[in-house]
């Protein structure tokens, strides 16, 4: 079984992983980024990395161990990973926080963190918003909305 704990940066994934790590002998706990994230990592890289993690989950599964993986990977992308159908099970939980909390946590990381990862606070807030929608509907894409939905988004009143 692969348990995906997903969310945008500063949602608390690392804190949860650290709290769970070592508590269960049949649960391996990993952070997606421990495989190394190259600068300029793009969607095709993330897809390859997803497959690598599913392969690792399959090795654990063979040993009778489940995998808890903390990641920014959208659940729908992990479901679409070619080897995902070989898993005994795959489930996900979005870990989230409000934008003020996320902004404060990101600010505490300092400018060096932003220099390494790129982006700015607003980019991470946008990714968190996308993740919230994706958690409710894994096939949700902003570009698939009707013009009336886009208008409501701009007004700040999402359904």
Q: What pLDDT score was predicted for residue 34?
A: 94
Contact 5, 68 (CB under 8 A): yes
Q: Are 134 and 126 in contact (CB under 8 A)?
A: no
Helices (H), 22-159: 43-62, 75-79, 99-109, 111-117, 121-136, 147-155
Closest by CA position to 135, among listed 45, 5, 42:
5
- 110 confidence band (pLDDT: 50, 70, 90): confident
Average pLDDT in the chain: 85
- Reported confidence tier of residue 124, pLDDT bands at 50, 70, 90: confident
Task: Report the pLDDT value the prediction gives residue 114, as an integer from 0 to 100.
Answer: 66
Supply the pLDDT for residue 111.
72
Whether the Cβ atoms of residue 16 and residue 95 lie closer than 8 Å to each other? yes
Secondary structure class of 68 (helix, strand, coil) = strand
Q: What percent of the chain has pLDDT over 90?
A: 55
What pTM did the predictor assign? 0.81
Sheet holding 66-71, edge to edge: 27-31, 66-71, 2-6, 90-94
- Tens of pLDDT, residue by residue over 27-51, are 999 999 999 888 888 889 999 999 9
| Eight-class DSSP state of 138 | T
Q: How sure is the predictor about 107, in pLDDT bands with cuts at 50, 70 and 90? A: confident
Residue 112 has pLDDT above 50, yes or no: yes
pLDDT in tens, 129-157: 988 988 887 665 555 444 444 333 433 43
Least confident of 79-88, 91-100, 148-157: 148-157
**Radius of gyration for the chain, computed over Cα atoms and rounded to the nearest angstrom:** 17
Q: What is the pLDDT of residue 119?
A: 74
């Amino acid at each position: 079984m692969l348990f995906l704990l997903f969310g945008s940066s500063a949602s608390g994934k690392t804190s949860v992983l650290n709290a769970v790590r070592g508590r269960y002998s049949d649960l391996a706990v990993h952070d997606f980024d421990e495989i190394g994230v190259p600068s300029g990592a793009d969607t095709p890289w993330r897809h390859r990395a997803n497959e690598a993690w599913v392969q690792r989950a399959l090795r654990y599964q063979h040993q009778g161990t489940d995998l808890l993986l903390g990641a920014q990977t959208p659940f729908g992308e992990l479901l679409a990973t070619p080897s995902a159908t070989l898993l005994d099970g795959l489930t996900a939980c979005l870990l989230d926080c409000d934008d003020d909390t996320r902004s404060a946590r990101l600010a505490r990381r300092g400018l060096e963190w932003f220099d390494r990862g790129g982006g700015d606070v607003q980019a991470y807030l946008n990714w968190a918003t996308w993740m919230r929608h994706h958690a409710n509907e894994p096939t949700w894409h902003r570009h698939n909305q009707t013009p009336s939905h886009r208008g409501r988004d701009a007004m700040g009143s999402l359904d």
